[in-house]
């Protein structure tokens, strides 16, 4: 397939490809195609895409990011939900290091499509409505991905990269940081997409840790975290006690103080290491 406008990730390239195949962006699938070469370059650089890299691309769409990564010499395994796009992408990238699987990434066995995930990098322009489920599907897969570089809603990216004491800091922050280092790469305004979404986006890179950040019982620690953030206006003492954690206020206060934590502070001021310490003390 020869395109007059060779770069798919441009307004002209996207419109040409879509017109040729009678395509329209599907709102129910959250399709917003990247059409900005500068942002695309930032994604490629942040992900560290180079000759021979194995990339798992989630939702290649009309192939703008795929095209750019193949040009850098990447080997791509892509998962695309939209059945209409699969044969188009197969034709477009025929003869290149490109393999596409039609399906829902949340219902796909990652171990089957990338049985050896060592040094594999994940790159995706994720629909807003499945951002968090997809990221945790990857993080909790047990596969040793090297990194996950994704385009997501700006608000969610800010929450992932937040620090204690800030309004964006919450249980999502700690859940992601349990598995990975978080780096905000770039803010991306709505005019970088076709069609335009209703809110701004951001590129975030998750560098996976070789082991969870803290050595603590995950279930117990996140029960404490969710209790602390479920009632953000309450003190840590009252928030945990209201969920039946700690065996009563007096015992809980003593336990927190033994960790060097003031029972009257709010949960949003604590980092993951302090939550791990509380979790171990209350086991």
For residue range 198-228, what is the model confidence (pLDDT) as tens digits?
999 999 999 999 999 999 999 999 999 999 9
- pLDDT (tens digit, 9 = 90+) per residue, 112-136? 998 787 889 999 999 999 999 999 9
Going by the DSSP 8-state scheme, the letter that residue 80 receives in this structure is E
Average pLDDT in the 87-104 region? 96
CA–CA–CA angle 224, 229, 235 (5° rounding): 90
Please check the confidence at residue 184 and state whether its pLDDT lies above 70. yes
Length of the chain: 283
- What value does the mean pLDDT of the chain take? 94
* Confidence at residue 118, expressed as pLDDT on a 0 to 100 scale: 82
Q: What are phi and psi for residue 94, nearest 5 degrees?
A: -60, 135
* Confidence at residue 115, expressed as pLDDT on a 0 to 100 scale: 79
Nearest to 231 by CA among 171, 283, 273, 274: 171
Check: pTM over 0.85? Answer yes or no: yes
Euclidean distance between CA atoms 274 and 222, whole angstroms: 12
- DSSP assignment of 139-203: HTT----SEEEEEEEHHHHHHHT--TTSTT-SHHHHHHHTTEEEEEEEEE-GGGEES--SS-EEE
Q: From the CA atom positions of the chain, what is the Rg in Å?
A: 22
* Confidence at residue 6, expressed as pLDDT on a 0 to 100 scale: 84
Helices (H), the chain: 11-20, 37-47, 64-71, 85-92, 110-113, 131-139, 154-160, 171-177, 218-230, 236-241, 249-258, 272-281
* Confidence at residue 3, expressed as pLDDT on a 0 to 100 scale: 62
Tokens found for residue 117: 């995930």
- H or E stretch including 107? none
Torsion sign, CA atoms 231, 234, 237, 243? negative
- pLDDT (tens digit, 9 = 90+) per residue, 241-252? 999 998 899 999
Q: Are 145 and 138 in contact (CB under 8 A)?
A: yes
Bridging pattern class, strands 147-153 and 201-208: antiparallel
């Amino acid at each position: 397939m020869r395109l007059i406008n060779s770069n798919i990730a441009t307004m002209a390239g996207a419109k040409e490809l879509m017109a040729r195949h009678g395509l329209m962006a599907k709102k129910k699938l959250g399709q917003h195609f990247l059409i900005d070469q500068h942002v695309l370059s930032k994604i490629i650089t942040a992900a560290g895409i180079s000759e021979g890299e194995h990339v798992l691309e989630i939702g290649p769409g009309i192939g703008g990011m795929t095209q750019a990564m193949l040009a850098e010499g990447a080997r791509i395994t892509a998962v695309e939900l939209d059945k209409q796009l699969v044969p188009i992408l197969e034709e477009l990238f025929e003869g290149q290091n490109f393999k596409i699987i039609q399906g829902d990434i949340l219902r796909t066995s990652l171990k089957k499509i990338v049985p050896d995930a060592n040094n594999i990098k994940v790159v995706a322009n994720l629909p807003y409505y499945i951002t968090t489920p997809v990221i945790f599907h990857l993080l909790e897969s047990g596969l040793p991905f090297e990194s996950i570089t994704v385009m997501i809603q700006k608000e969610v990216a800010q929450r992932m990269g937040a620090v204690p004491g800030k309004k964006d800091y919450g249980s999502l922050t700690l859940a992601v940081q349990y598995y990975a280092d978080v780096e905000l790469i770039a803010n991306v305004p709505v005019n970088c997409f076709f069609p335009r979404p209703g809110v701004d986006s951001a590129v975030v890179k998750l560098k996976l840790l070789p082991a969870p950040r803290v050595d603590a019982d995950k279930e117990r620690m996140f029960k404490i975290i969710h209790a602390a953030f479920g009632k953000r206006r309450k003190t840590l003492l009252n928030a945990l006690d209201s969920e039946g954690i700690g065996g009563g206020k007096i015992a809980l206060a003593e336990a927190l103080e033994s960790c060097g934590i003031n029972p009257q502070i709010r949960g949003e001021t604590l980092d993951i290491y302090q939550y791990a310490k509380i979790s171990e003390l209350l086991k």
